[in-house]
A and B are shown apart, each in its own frame.
Chain A
Amino acid sequence: MLLSRVADSLYWISRYLERAEHTARVVDVAVDLGLGRGSTRDDGTIDLLYTSLELPISEPGSLAVAAFFDAANANSVLSCITVARENARQAREEISSEMWQQLNGLFLRLKQMRGDASRTPRTHFVSRSVIEGVHLFHGITDATMGHGEGGQYLLAGRYLERAMATARLLDRFMGRAFDGPSPPDQAGLVALLRSCSALEAYCRHYTADVRPERVMEFLLLDANFPRSVRFSASIAESALRSLGRLSGRRAGGDAERLAGRLHASLDYGQVGEILDGEPHLYLTDIGRQCARIHSALYRTYILYSIDTALPA
């Protein structure tokens, strides 16, 4: 038994945490690239990374700080952590105290870092602490909270957000690689892999021979890598299937059906085929499908109309 409002909060806790983690990692890669290239602007990889986050472009130094701490930007890391924490407060009786304390501690540390960041913008340490903080939260969740309905909302939110983020990043890079005039830059591809924490895993799979179509294949279609779109879709699908079963609402299979379809299309997809077609459209369509899954989830479990649910 789970209140609809609390289910909504659980779902958004993990979506916002996923977004914070993703932003922290992308900014970390962008800052690192900037360091390697002196004061001159690079070929645009840094811009690509930042624009994928939908942040306003300004000076590189301040941009990283803004990506972490700008309160006016709803996608900044601090904003995401703040909203995740507010949602956790709303779901306080559903999550464990250990989870709450971890999230609350992360929020308090980050607020403290905001004060320090204006003096010494060593953003790498901020990144590390956000990423580790979020990982720790997932570990604590796994170890202290029941893996029932509430846990499935956490999973659904986390993996839907992840599928969308990876697809969007791929689209920014691959749109250029396959549609644009210039061939993809090796360093850019490495930056893309690192932004998904995928460089080591990629090398183990393909060796350090980094090629655009392989990067595309790995981040989009790999069955086992935890940040690939296919893997994310498969976890989201299984979470939604569990929700249908646990809530006893068989009629609510729409979200499950849409997630299943997305997962199947990735299961049976092939990179050559996708690249021969229109990769940009393919990738943006993944985002659209995720949005439809989200709406179906809300229609079925959270914002359903009363007359459909009254006892006979």
Chain B
Amino acid sequence: MGSTVRGPWLHASLPGPPALKEGSAGPGPESRFASYELGAPFDEMFDAAGDVRPHCRSLLDELLSSSATDLRGRQTEADKAFLAQGITFTVYGDDQGAERIFPFDLLPRIITGAEWATLDRGLTQRLTAINLFLKDIYHEGRILSEGVVPRSLVYSCKHYRREMRGVSVHRDIYVSVAGTDLVRLENGRFVVLEDNLRVPSGVSYMLANREVTKRVFPGLFNRYNVTPVAHYGQELMATLRALAPLSRAEPTFVVLTPGVGNSAYFEHAFLAREMGVPLVEGRDLLVHDNIVYMRTTSGLRRVDVIYRRVDDDFIDPLAFRADSILGVPGLMNAYRAGNVALSNAIGTGVADDKALYAYIPAIIRFYLSEEPILANVETYLLERPSDRAYVLEHLESLVVKAVGESGGYGMLIGPHSTAKEREAFRDRIVADPRNFIAQPTLSLSRAACLIDDQIEPRHVDLRPYVLFGDKVRIVPGGLTRVALRKGSLVVNSSQGGGSKDTWVLRD
């Protein structure tokens, strides 16, 4: 992929190779960049000519002046910090109950204040429109009547909830917490890859990564003017406050988790602690006369706002999946009666359906009469015969995704696929075209990572977290996920992905 540029920038941009520190072992600093390739993808650290981007200058200097041993030591320190905090996941199928940390890359990814300002406006615009859209489709359905979004597309979505028809949602806030996946293309522009509007996770890693990075790179952190992220818990609390029913003078808030077995349990406990509210499981709650209570040592206590990290399907066995033991029987009725607020509302998944995604720019124009600030990725809807014909012709160059899947599953990455895999996907597409979309294979931008003592570029994305309550609140930055396997485009943690800290600079 692209031509290999071996370090011309080093000589072009540095007065001379820095002297090795006395006594430092191992290869010199220049050779640490020996396998750094600049290719077609946008590189977050160097421009196309191989010169370091101005805002990455200090980071480069830090890397050049640190020995391999030093960097390795910092990586060990960082990994230990995650282990000590118990930020781990259990490896299934291992009877020793081995726990691993999520791979963490040491080097921060840096975004300028100007770049962030655009993202901030674009995300605000997008989520505002999405909330108007959700209100509309669950009430009068103007956008459907006017034919801007096909009725069949909405009603055939498996995350569309009939139960929400005509239900009034306090302040019309359906999505109060969103995690929007952005990628940066060759031209340096960020585009939206997908919206996560149900129970987006990962924000605790954004916070934990920052804590650890500050500790292992204190000097570097000081040389930059980085906007803080640590107040996310307070911002989330303020957002949830806006959802509380007005009739309740002193509302009670809880975080609802599926339990310790869930891979994001650490995050649920973390957010509950940050906000100072109880972390409850379904079995701690009960509904009586359409009021939700939790079992406390002082007896039953009424619950007013639930930040739920349980999917719609599992949240109430009486309304949705009857086999769910994670939910609260009767919760949906209490919700419909307006006696409890849920964040996010039920039925928001219809707006992050991968086929509906293609209509988000139209949705923004329809409700806000504005042009979208953040572009979408070009998307083929396989339900459309013309799109389908094109996609089936060009499977080897496209990415095909199942609309209801997430976590990097149910995907065909054309250029990395075998003829057999493409055949199998072709059959699945023809059998159920509504269930698939296709997009061109994107060249995700790459950021410098520490890989086996070498600095090498790896593909990254960015998931900022957008809060929508009394107003839109976005903590600058987000979670940068990185595909640590060389050449891989899949950043999901379930598939060999890791993460790194994201610094948004104050310009």
Contact = CB atoms under 8 A, between A and B. Distances in A.
Interface of A: 1-7, 86, 89-90, 92-93, 97, 100-101, 104-105, 108, 149, 243, 247-249, 301-302, 304, 306, 309-311
Given A86-B260, A248-B298, A3 B85 contact: no
Contacts of B34: none
Contact of A105 (B84, B265, B298, B301): B84
Nearest to B85: A101
A7 B297 contact: yes
Contacts of B273: 92-93, 97
25 contacts: A1-B298, A1-B301, A3-B280, A3-B284, A3-B295, A3-B296, A4-B297, A5-B281, A5-B283, A5-B295, A7-B297, A89-B269, A90-B260, A92-B272, A92-B273, A93-B273, A100-B85, A101-B84, A101-B86, A104-B84, A104-B86, A108-B84, A249-B298, A306-B288, A309-B300
The majority secondary structure among interface residues of chain A is: helix
Contacts of B462: none
B254 to A, nearest CB: 9
B299 interface: yes
Contacts of B305: none
Nearest to A2: B297
A92 B284 contact: no
A97 B280 CA distance: 18
Contacts of A6: 278
Contacts of A97: 85, 273
Contact of A4 (B86, B277, B295): B295
Nearest to A251: B299
B286 interface: yes
B299 A249 contact: yes
B251 to A, nearest CB: 13
Given A1-B296, A93-B279, 6 more contacts: A3-B294, A248-B298, A302-B297, A309-B299, A310-B300, A311-B300
Contacts of A86: 260
A102 B80 CA distance: 14
Interface centre among A92, A301, A306 (most CB of B within 10 A): A92
B336 to A, nearest CB: 21
Nearest to A301: B297
A302 B283 CA distance: 12
Contact of B286 (A90, A101, A302, A306): A306
B260 A310 contact: no
Nearest to A6: B278
- Residue from B83, B86, B272, B284 whose CB has the most chain A CB atoms within 10 Å: B86
Contacts of A302: 297
Interface string B481-503: 00000000000000000000000
Contacts of B298: 1-2, 247-249
B279 to A, nearest CB: 5
A41 B439 CA distance: 77
Contacts of A4: 284, 295-297
B300 A306 contact: yes
B296 A2 contact: yes
A86 B85 CA distance: 14
A90 B281 CA distance: 10
Contacts of B86: 89, 100-101, 104
Nearest to A5: B284
A144 to B, nearest CB: 13
B77 to A, nearest CB: 15
A187 to B, nearest CB: 40
Contacts of A149: 297
Interface string B258-272: 001000010001001
Interface string B128-141: 00000000000000
A69 B77 CA distance: 28
A211 to B, nearest CB: 45
A99 B299 CA distance: 27
Interface in B305-328: none
Interface in B434-491: none
Contacts of A7: 297
A310 B278 CA distance: 20
Given A5-B284, A306-B286, A93 B297 contact: no
Nearest to B294: A3
Contact of A92 (B277, B279, B299): B279
A177 B260 CA distance: 48
Nearest to B265: A89
A2 B296 CA distance: 5
Contacts of A89: 86, 260, 265, 269
Contacts of A93: 269, 272-273, 277-279
Contacts of B83: 108
B292 to A, nearest CB: 13
Given A89-B269, A92-B269, A306-B286, A3 B299 contact: no
Nearest to B288: A310
A202 B298 CA distance: 42
Q: Which of A5, A90, A249 has the most CB of B within 10 A?
A: A5
Contacts of A1: 278, 296, 298, 301
Contacts of B281: 5
Contacts of B269: 89, 92-93
A249 B297 CA distance: 8
A304 B297 CA distance: 9
A249 B280 CA distance: 22
A97 B300 CA distance: 28
A104 to B, nearest CB: 5
Interface in B195-229: none
B324 to A, nearest CB: 18
Interface-centre pick from B286, B288, B300 (highest chain A CB count, 10 A): B300
Contacts of B279: 92-93
Contacts of B286: 306
Contacts of A248: 298
Most buried by B among A2, A7, A93: A93
Contacts of A304: 295, 299
Across the A-B interface, the 4 shortest Cβ-Cβ residue pairs:
A92-B269, A93-B272, A301-B297, A309-B299
A243 B297 contact: yes
Contacts of A306: 286, 288, 300
Contact of A247 (B283, B295, B297, B300): B297
Contacts of A108: 83-84
Interface in B228-256: none
A6 B281 CA distance: 10
A84 B269 CA distance: 17
Among A3, A302, A310, residue most surrounded by chain B Cβ atoms (within 10 Å): A3
B471 to A, nearest CB: 27
Contacts of A2: 296-298
Contacts of A309: 295, 299-300
A306 B284 CA distance: 12
Contacts of A310: 288, 300
Contacts of B299: 247, 249, 304, 309
Contacts of B288: 306, 310
Contacts of B280: 3
A309 B293 CA distance: 11
A240 B86 CA distance: 32
Nearest to B277: A93
* Centre residue among B279, B283, B297, B298 by max chain A CB count within 10 A: B297
